[in-house]
Amino acid sequence: MVATALAEAVTHPAAGAALDIEQVSHAFDIDGIELPVLSDVSISVEPGEFVALLGPSGCGKSTLLRLVAGLDKPKAGRLREDEERIKHPHPSRVVVFQDPTLFPWRSVWDNVALGLEAQGILKSQRQRVDDALDLVGLSSFRNAYPHQLSGGMAQRVALARALVNDPKILILDEPLGKLDSLTRITMQAELVSLWQRKAFTTLLVTHDAEEALVLANRVIVFSERPAHVKADIRVDRPYPRHRGDPYLADLRRQILGLLGLDATW
């Protein structure tokens, strides 16, 4: 069973996995007081889907991502990847955080190699690191240290560090949130083309309704904390999408309305 799974992983580049979030609730203990963050969230994601999670700041979206990654366990409910219960972190579900969190003591190449090294397969698969660096266009910076990189470059390295593992689910926690608007637009386009090429399932947390609509197949809108699903909107538009598309503009108005921001439109 394990052997066949391994053989498959080697021969086929990872395609997306299905993700089931079933009646998940979660709470934090802060000085003995229970603070609910997620309340009865159920989302079913098809393999290869690009889902954006949109909601007010601090509503619990990032917490949901940590549960999906397996970094924390939910207080109630279940999460499954391809029918298998998520209990621990696994390199098939890789997170790209808002901060690149590159290891400053490692060169760019060594940062990207981190996952393969941790899994003990780096020696035989060094080529994958080079390929991942090629993919994000940073081959010439392989020997640079993180403090020598710009914000956008650092985030690209973080993306390469995730993609080198051929994840089935790519979890993006506002990865473009701290970039300047030009870099941001470029990287949005890169994300879409990477996703189209690699066909991994993508979960993207964002504050930005426009970003969600330009990138995702589906936009899920969350309420204030404790977060529950307020709307599940399908975005049926071909890629590459245009920001000025009236269909998207209409959806954007709807979404901002759901978030209680009608007046600003």
Residue 90 in contact with other proteins, rule: CB under 8 A: yes
Which residues share a beta bridge with 222? 229
Site string for other proteins, 113-132 (x = CB under 8 A): -xx-xxx-------------
Select 28 or 103, whichever has its Cβ closest to other proteins.
103
The only residue of 99, 190, 208, 245 in contact with other proteins, by rule CB under 8 A: 99
Q: Is 128:164 a contact under the CB 8 Å cutoff?
A: yes
Give least dist CB 210 to other proteins, A. 27
Select 101 or 186, whichever has its Cβ closest to other proteins.
101
Residue 177 in contact with other proteins, rule: CB under 8 A: no
The only residue of 61, 156, 161, 198 in contact with other proteins, by rule CB under 8 A: 161
Q: Is 147 exposed, middle or buried (0-12, 13-18, 19+ CB in 10 A)?
A: exposed
Residue 128, CA distances (Å) to 164, 195, 236 in order: 6, 17, 34
Q: Per the omega criterion (within 30 degrees of 0), is the bond before 240 cis?
A: yes
Residue 154 in contact with other proteins, rule: CB under 8 A: no
The only residue of 94, 149, 209, 256 in contact with other proteins, by rule CB under 8 A: 94
Across the chain, where does the E strand assignment appear? 19-30, 33-45, 50-54, 76-81, 84-85, 93-96, 169-173, 201-206, 218-222, 229-234
Q: Total binding residues for other proteins by CB under 8 A? A: 28
Residue 2 in contact with other proteins, rule: CB under 8 A: no
Select 12 or 88, whichever has its Cβ closest to other proteins.
88
**Which residues of the shown chain bind other proteins in the complex (CB under 8 A)?**
66, 69-71, 89-91, 93-95, 97, 99, 101, 103-107, 114-115, 117-119, 145-147, 161, 165
